[in-house]
Amino acid sequence: MPAVSKGDGMRGLAVFISDIRNKSKEAEIKRINKELANIRSKFKGDKALDGYSKKKYVCKLLFIFLLGHDIDFGHMEAVNLLSSNKYTEKQIGYLFISVLVNSNSELIRLINNAIKNDLSSRNPTFMCLALHCIANVGSREMAEAFASEIPRILVADTMDSVKQSAALCLLRLYKTSPDLVLMGEWTSRVVHLLNDQHMFQGVVTAAISLITCLSQKNPDEFKTCVSLAVSRLSRIVSSASTDLQDYTYYFVPAPWLSCKLLRLLQCYPPPEDGAVKGRLVECLETILNKAQEPPKSKKVQHSNAKNAILFEAISLIIHYDEPNLLVRACNQLGQFLQHRETNLRYLALESMCTLASSEFSHEAVKTHIETVINALKTERDVSVRQRAADLLYAMCDRSNAKQIVAEMLSYLETADYSIREEMVLKVAILAEKYAVDYSWYVDTILNLIRIAGDYVSEEVWYRVIQIVINRDDVQGYAAKTVFEALQAPACHENMVKVGGYILGEFGNLIAGDPRSPLVQFNLLHSKFHLCSVPTRALLLSAYIKFINLFPETKVTIQEVLRCDSQIRNSDVELQQRAVEYLKLSSIASTDVLATVLEEMPPFPERESSILAKLKKKKGPGAVSVTELDDSKREGGELNGGGERAADTAAMAASNASTPSPSADLLGIRSSAPMGAAPAAAGSLLVDVFSEAGPAAPAAAVNNDGFLFVCKNNGVLFENQLLQIGIKSEYRQNLRMYLFYGNKTSVQFASFSTTVSCPGELTPQLNVQSKPVEPLVEGGAQIQQVLNIECLSDFSDAPLLNIKFYGGALQNLTLKLPVTINKFFQPTEMTSQDFFQRWKQLSLLGLGSALLDNVDPNPENYVCAGVIQTKGQQVGCLLRLEPNAQAQMYRLTLRCSKESVSKRLCELLSQQF
C-alpha cells in the first residue's frame, strides 16, 4: 500500500507501483507487460472509459515509461484528457504530453487545438497548464502556432501567474525559433514590467529572464532596461532583510531576482548616465560590504544565497573592468580561498581565473600564489585541485613562472590520470612562453618527459627540438642534458627521440672525455631495440649524422647498419634507411657527406602547436584572447627572431637525408616517412614538405585534349606527385575510368575531384561521378568512374578539378578528353546507301565505322556513324581521300547537323 497519498491519488496506480517495487528485473518486466496488456484492452474495449479510469491508465503508462520502458500507445487517450473539464484529468493529460512528446503530426494538430482552447478559456489555471505544455514541448510546430499569441497574453490584463508563465513560455519559444517571435509594441511593455514599484516580484523574476535573453540579440531595443534594472537592484540591495516578505530567502532579500538583474546588466556596457552609474557602483559596493558582515543565520542556505549575489556582482565587475572594484573583488575572493566551505574555495579559484586576465587585477591575484599552490597540494577533491591548476596557469607570468612550473611539475607526479595530458600541455606552454633562460626550458621539458612521458604528445617534443635548433646558445646544454637523461636505465621513448635527434645534431658540442662519440653512440644504440619503428627510423638518421660528425664512429656504425636486423629488416622504411645510409656512408666523399648531412637550419617562426592543441582540448573560449596575443609576442622572441626564418623549401632540399624528422617537426605528420633518396628526390621534397614553399604547381594545367580524339586509353596528366590515367568506352553513355596514382611515398590527404561543365556545356553534357576516397596512400592508385551522357552536340570539354594535400595544397584543373566523336555509334552500310546519304547531306560528313568496298576508289577511306545524343541522333559520313603524290589528304564530312560537322572537322584536322 502506498506510504502517502495526497489529494487526488489514484488508488489503482499506487497499488501498481507498490507491486513493482523491489521486484527483480524479470518480475518487473512481467508485471509491466501484464499491465500494458490490461491497459491496451481497456483502451480498445467497447465500453467507453470514464475520465478517472482514462487518467489512471494514462498515468500508469507514464510511470512505466519513466521506469525506462517503451510506450507505443495511449497518446490518443492522453490527448483526449486535454479536453476534459476536470482539472486533474487535464493536468495528467498535459503531463503525459510533456514527457512523451510525439512528433506525430496528426497528434500535434490535436494537441495544438486543445492548447488553443485552454489559452482562450480565460480560466487562469487552464491557461497556465497550456503555457507549461508549450514551454515543455517547445517544438517548432508549437512556436508556429503560438508565437504570435503569447506576447498578447503576456501584456494583457491577466493574473500574475499567467503573466509569469507567458513570459517564460515566450522565452522558450524564442530560444528554439527566434525567427518566429517578432518584436513589436509588446517589447516596450515588457521592459516596463521592471518599472512598476508595486509589481509582484514573481512577475519581474520571470519577465527578466525573457528580457535578458531578448536584449542579448536586440540590445538597442531594450536599452531602457538598464536604468530600470539599476533602480530595481538598488531597492533590493538597500532593503531590510524582511521588507520583501516571502521573497526573502533565509534573510537574503530576493536572491534570484538580484542575480537575474546583475546578469541582465552584463549584457550592456557600464551605464553612461553618471547618476545611474553612481547608483550601480553604490549597489556593487554594498554587496561587497555585506560580504564582510557577520552572517544573519548559520544555515548554509543563507550564505549560499548571499554569496550567489556576490559572485554575480563580481562577474559584473569583471565585465566592467573597473580597477577599484576589481581589486576589492579580488581581495574578497582571496578570503574565500581559505574558507572552510569547499564550494566557496572552488568558486573563488574559478572566478580568480577570470580576474587574472585583467591588467588591473592580475597583480592582486598573484599575491595569492602560495594559497593556490597549497590548494593544489592539499585539496582532497580533484575538481578543486583542477581549478587550482587552472588558476596557477592563468596567473603565471615571467616573475613567477619558475615557481609555478616547478609546482605543476611536482603535482604531475601524483596528478589524476584524467587531467595529466592537459597539465603536461600547460607546463610545456608556460615553460616556453616565459623562458628567459633556455637551459631552464630544456630541463623543464625533459623533466616533463621523465615524469609523464606517456602524456607528452608529439607537439611537445617537436617543439623542444625546434627551439633547440633555433637557439645556438642552448644546444650544448641540451646535448649534455639529454646525454645525462639517457643514462637512466629505463627512459621513456619520447626521451630517446629527443635524445637521438639532439645528439645527432649537436653531439659534437659535448664530445669531451666521458662523452666520447662512441660512448654517445653506444648509449643511443642501447635503447634501440626497445623502441618502436618510428623511433628506430629516427635513430638510424641520427647514426648517419654521427658518421658525419665523428668520422671515427664510421666503422662501428656501418657494422650496425650492415647487420641483418637492419639491412634485412622486415619493415620497409627501416630497411630502406639502413641500405641507403650504408651506401651513402661508403660512397660519398667527406665533403659530400658534410653537405648532405649538414646541421638543420633554423625552423621558421610559427605559433606554438601546443597552444592550438590545448585550445582544441579545452574547447573554444578556454584560452582567453589575451593569452593568445601574449604567446604570439613571446613566442617570437623565443624562436630567436623572425628574421632567421629560413626558407623551408631550401632547408628540406638541403637536408634531404634526414627528411623524416624534419617533416615531423614541421607538423606534417607523414604516416610513412620519406625514404632518403637525397639527390633524386630533392625537388620532390620541396613540394611535399614545404608549407611555406613555392606555390603548388600547375593551378590550371591545360591540355587541349586532341591527343585523345582517336585514343581511348592513355596518360592524361603527370607531374612529380601525381599521374592520372584514363580509359574510356562507349556503351550508350560514355564511361570514363580515371586512375589517380600517387607517385610519392607520402599519403595525399583530403583528395577530392570535381567535374564541371562550364558555360554552354551545362545543358549539353550530363556527367555523373562518385566521390573518391579522401586518402591516397603513398604509391597507391585509386579509380574513379565517370558516366557521361550527351544531351546535345557540344564543342567544349568538361573540366576536372583535383585538390589534395601533399605537403602543400595542390590544385589542378584539366580538360577531360570528352569530344563529340566519343559518342559515335558505328553504322554499316552499302556503297549505294552511302552515296545516297552522302548526297542527301549537303554539308560535311564524318563516319565512324570504316567501310570497305564502299568507295569506288580503294585508296579512299569512308566511315559512317551516328552520334547519339539524348535530344537527337546525328548521322555522319566521312570521306578521306589521300593523294600520295602530293602528300595531302582531302577530308570531307557530311552530317545532319552543321555544328556537329564543324566540330568533328576541327577535331579530325588536328589528327593529321
Using the Cα atoms of residue 224, residue 230, residue 233 and residue 238 in order, give the sign of their dihedral: negative
Does the footprint of other proteins cover residue 4 (CB under 8 A)? yes
- Residues 6-35 touching other proteins, rule: CB under 8 A, are 6-12, 14-15, 17-18, 21
Which grid coordinates are listed for 344?
566557496
Beta-carbon contacts of 196 under 8 Å, excluding residues fewer than 6 positions away, are none
Output DSSP code: residue 457: -
- Residues 351-380 touching other proteins, rule: CB under 8 A, are 380
Beta carbon of residue 15, minimum distance to other proteins (angstroms, whole number):
5
Beta carbon of residue 219, minimum distance to other proteins (angstroms, whole number):
17
The answer to whether 371 and 352 are in contact (CB under 8 A) is no
The only residue of 74, 93, 255, 640 in contact with other proteins, by rule CB under 8 A = 255
Residue 623 or 788 having the CB closest to other proteins = 623
Does the footprint of other proteins cover residue 616 (CB under 8 A)? no
3-state secondary structure 256-305: HHHHHHHHHHCCCCCCCCHHHHHHHHHHHHHHHHHHHCCCCCCCHHHHHH
Q: What is the DSSP string of 504-565?
A: HHHGGGG-SGGG-HHHHHHHHHHHHTTS-HHHHHHHHHHHHHHHHH-GGGHHHHHHHHHSHH
Beta carbon of residue 185, minimum distance to other proteins (angstroms, whole number):
24
Does the footprint of other proteins cover residue 381 (CB under 8 A)? yes
Which grid coordinates are listed for 327?
581589486
Residue 17 or 511 having the CB closest to other proteins = 17
- Residues 231-250 touching other proteins, rule: CB under 8 A, are 246-247, 249
SS3 753: strand
The only residue of 45, 294, 489, 619 in contact with other proteins, by rule CB under 8 A = 619
| Nearest-angstrom CA–CA distance, 425 and 525 | 29
Beta carbon of residue 325, minimum distance to other proteins (angstroms, whole number):
19
The whole-angstrom distance between residue 416's C-alpha and the CA centroid of its chain comes to 26
Question: How far is the CA of 336 from the CAs of 203, 298, 328, 349, 407, in angstroms?
Answer: 34, 17, 13, 9, 22
Q: What's the Rg (C-alpha) of the chain?
A: 40
Beta carbon of residue 18, minimum distance to other proteins (angstroms, whole number):
8
Which listed range, 157-165, 277-285, 443-451, 565-573, lies at the site for other proteins (CB under 8 A)?
157-165
Laid out side by side, the sheet with 765-769 consists of 713-718, 722-731, 733-742, 781-790, 765-769
Amino acid letter for position 97: I
- Residues 584-613 touching other proteins, rule: CB under 8 A, are none
The answer to whether 233 and 255 are in contact (CB under 8 A) is no
Residue 168 or 364 having the CB closest to other proteins = 168
Beta carbon of residue 113, minimum distance to other proteins (angstroms, whole number):
22
Residue 100 or 567 having the CB closest to other proteins = 100
- Residues 55-94 touching other proteins, rule: CB under 8 A, are 59, 62-63, 66, 68, 86-88, 91-92
Backbone angles phi, psi at 33, to 5 degrees: -60, -40
Does the footprint of other proteins cover residue 95 (CB under 8 A)? yes
Does the footprint of other proteins cover residue 272 (CB under 8 A)? no
Size of the site for other proteins (CB under 8 A): 77
The only residue of 80, 102, 116, 202 in contact with other proteins, by rule CB under 8 A = 202
| Nearest-angstrom CA–CA distance, 81 and 282 | 54
Q: If you search the block for the grid coordinates 502517502, which residue do you land on?
A: 4
- Residues 669-688 touching other proteins, rule: CB under 8 A, are none
The only residue of 168, 404, 503, 765 in contact with other proteins, by rule CB under 8 A = 168
The only residue of 82, 97, 145, 169 in contact with other proteins, by rule CB under 8 A = 169
SS3 660: helix
- Residues 287-326 touching other proteins, rule: CB under 8 A, are 301, 304-305, 307-308, 311-312
Q: Residue 60, annotated ligand binder?
A: yes
CA neighbor of 393 nearest in space, from 412, 378, 414 = 412
Residue 340 or 839 having the CB closest to other proteins = 340
- Residues 833-862 touching other proteins, rule: CB under 8 A, are none
- Residues 801-820 touching other proteins, rule: CB under 8 A, are none
The only residue of 3, 240, 587, 625 in contact with other proteins, by rule CB under 8 A = 3
The only residue of 32, 147, 193, 254 in contact with other proteins, by rule CB under 8 A = 254
Beta carbon of residue 473, minimum distance to other proteins (angstroms, whole number):
42
Beta carbon of residue 213, minimum distance to other proteins (angstroms, whole number):
9
Binding mask 710-749 for other proteins (x = CB under 8 A): ----------------------------------------
Q: Residue 805, annotated ligand binder?
A: no
Residue 66 or 436 having the CB closest to other proteins = 66
Q: Residue 58, annotated ligand binder?
A: yes
Residue 115 or 449 having the CB closest to other proteins = 115
Residue 152 or 175 having the CB closest to other proteins = 175
- Residues 127-146 touching other proteins, rule: CB under 8 A, are 131-132, 135-136, 138-139
Q: Judging by beta carbons within 10 Å of its beta carbon (0-12, 13-18, 19+), is residue 268 exposed, middle or buried? A: middle
Q: Residue 31, annotated ligand binder?
A: no
Beta carbon of residue 798, minimum distance to other proteins (angstroms, whole number):
43
The whole-angstrom distance between residue 454's C-alpha and the CA centroid of its chain comes to 25
Residue 383 or 909 having the CB closest to other proteins = 383
| Nearest-angstrom CA–CA distance, 677 and 681 | 6
Beta carbon of residue 27, minimum distance to other proteins (angstroms, whole number):
16
Q: Residue 52, annotated ligand binder?
A: yes
The only residue of 32, 82, 97, 172 in contact with other proteins, by rule CB under 8 A = 172
| Nearest-angstrom CA–CA distance, 433 and 427 | 10
Q: Residue 328, annotated ligand binder?
A: no
Beta carbon of residue 747, minimum distance to other proteins (angstroms, whole number):
33
Does the footprint of other proteins cover residue 229 (CB under 8 A)? no
**Long-range CB contacts for residues 557-562, cutoff 8 Å, separation at least 24:** 557/521, 557/585, 558/582, 558/585, 558/586, 560/525, 561/585
Does the footprint of other proteins cover residue 48 (CB under 8 A)? no
Instruction: State the alpha helices, DSSP H only, in 72-159.
Output: 75-82, 87-99, 105-119, 124-137, 140-146, 149-155
- Residues 391-410 touching other proteins, rule: CB under 8 A, are none
| Nearest-angstrom CA–CA distance, 317 and 277 | 12
Which listed range, 158-166, 360-368, 648-656, 757-765, lies at the site for other proteins (CB under 8 A)?
158-166
Using the Cα atoms of residue 662, residue 668, residue 672 and residue 676 in order, give the sign of their dihedral: negative
Q: Residue 59, annotated ligand binder?
A: yes
**Each residue of 499-515: b (16+ CB within 10 Å) or e?**
bbbbbbbbbbbbbeeeb
Residue 385 or 894 having the CB closest to other proteins = 385
| Nearest-angstrom CA–CA distance, 727 and 737 | 5
Residue 34 or 109 having the CB closest to other proteins = 34
Does the footprint of other proteins cover residue 215 (CB under 8 A)? no
Q: Residue 23, annotated ligand binder?
A: no
Does the footprint of other proteins cover residue 384 (CB under 8 A)? yes
Beta carbon of residue 29, minimum distance to other proteins (angstroms, whole number):
16
The only residue of 43, 49, 52, 286 in contact with other proteins, by rule CB under 8 A = 52
Beta carbon of residue 76, minimum distance to other proteins (angstroms, whole number):
20
Question: How far is the CA of 317 from the CAs of 266, 286, 305, 851, in angstroms?
Answer: 9, 13, 19, 93
Return binding residues.
Answer: 11-12, 42, 52, 56-60
